[in-house]
Amino acid sequence: MMNEESLAFATIEELATLLAKRKISPVELTDIFLRRIERQNPALNAFLTVTAEQALAAARSAEKRLLRRGSSSRENSPLIGIPITLKDNIWTRGIRSTAGSKILRDFVPSEDSTAARRLGRTGAVLLGKTNLNEFAYGITGSNAHYGPVHNPWALDRISGGSSAGSGAAVAAGLCAASVGTDTGGSIRTPSAFCGVVGLKPTFGRVSVFGTFPLAPSLDHVGPLARSVADAAILLGAIAGRDPLDPTSSPRPVADYLGTLRKPLRKFRLGRPREHYWEKLDAEVRGAADAAVRDMEKRGAVVREVSLPHLKASLDSANDISLAEALHVHEAAGFFPVRAADYGEEVGQRIESGAKVPAHRYLAGFDVRKRLLAEFEAAFQDVDAIVAPTLPVPAPLIGAETLQIDGEETAARPAIVGHSRPANLTGLPAISIPCGFTRAGLPIGLQFIGRALDEATLLRVALSYERTNDWRARHPRVE
């Protein structure tokens, strides 16, 4: 029998095997995670709501499902009895869903988001709702109303946002996995800073119904997990056409986990000439270079590719995000009526949306078309684009600037610059751990793939993870 520490950092696959063999029960497993949350969350501030009673009730229900398990695919879900969390901008029926805001501090939805409903059907156990930047509008994990999320590897460092609590909770062993949202890197950023796997699917692959929007043309829902296979399991559970979300894709959902079990072939990786590899922290560059060289040694073909509109896309994505966020908050009746209830940073950002003229907003979509065409041209010769997920390891909480290559750089644009292109194009992207700095901070490697081809993207990520598994190293939260 595994001890508590081993169980807390086990993968979904490993836990599912133990549950199926009755080595541990869903109630016992849930209780382990709840005890860890009680001990460690005061230091991390990863949770806004802990649903202990509901979780234990769901665990008892999962136990019954496991006992009557048969040939039914519903009863054979690998998520039965698996304790997970959801970012708090994802609505959950009967459970407070604040979106990290003062405005929605006491909001309790009357219906589930599609992601929550689908996960509930799998038998997963919801432990609670995780902290985030206010209205998911930020990249650091700091929140004016609920306080910052602390990185479990170094409590004075940011966890990355906006899915901050999700990244910290998975990394610290406070849940087996989580589901977050990504508009400008909000799944991949905390995954990279916290040393876990984060997958932003293709735009429309996962329904956003019941998720409070930030910028609807850039918003995505996806998993944060301990392994590539776990990300595949979660994606398979939440992906698919949803009549409640007109942007969701009707394309069939692949058997992502089954795809990972097929023999791996050699992959072709594209290393962009522009932007991604230009301005990097020395330790990040060293780890990412080493990861690419390792994949080459194991048979991957690495080619240089050109994506000339990468840099122009950053301003375009920013314009689209600013304008759409203002519209969302005006349509909700929150802004400017309740302007005083926003944190200063988020309030100013939403107000700035009014300064984006219509011609600049529309020009952003022209840049999107050109960049997407460049990615599609690159994918004629490669299976995935490879780059460091972020240019730096996790900065100190409250840092406004960063030192990169000896130059002082504003923190926020430096961080989002590596993740935003995949949001603008809607292409799937995954961040996986690829090492640590000398100070013990995680470093992430990002792969970007073809639209709606998460299966290949996951297989590419697995090809590295199989021979470079960093999961044996865990943070210690005091």
First-last CA distance in the chain: 25
Segment holding 459, helix H or strand E: helix 454-465
Partner residues linked to 448 by β-bridges: 385, 429
**DSSP run (H or E) holding 222:** strand 220-225
Q: Is-contact 81 12, C-beta < 8 A?
A: no
Q: Which of 197, 192, 156 is nearest to 178 (CA)?
A: 197
The whole-angstrom separation of Cα 32 and Cα 317 is: 42
Residue 30 and residue 83: Cα distance in Å, rounded? 6
- As annotated, the active-site residues are 87, 162, 186
Tokens matching residue 345: 């940073």
- The C-alpha atoms of residue 408 and residue 342 are separated, in whole angstroms, by 29
- Using a 10 angstrom Cβ sphere, with 0-12 exposed, 13-18 middle and 19 or more buried, the burial of residue 2 is middle
Q: In this structure, what are the phi and psi dihedrals at residue 253, rounded to the nearest 5 degrees?
A: -90, 130
Beta-bridge partner residues of 373 = none
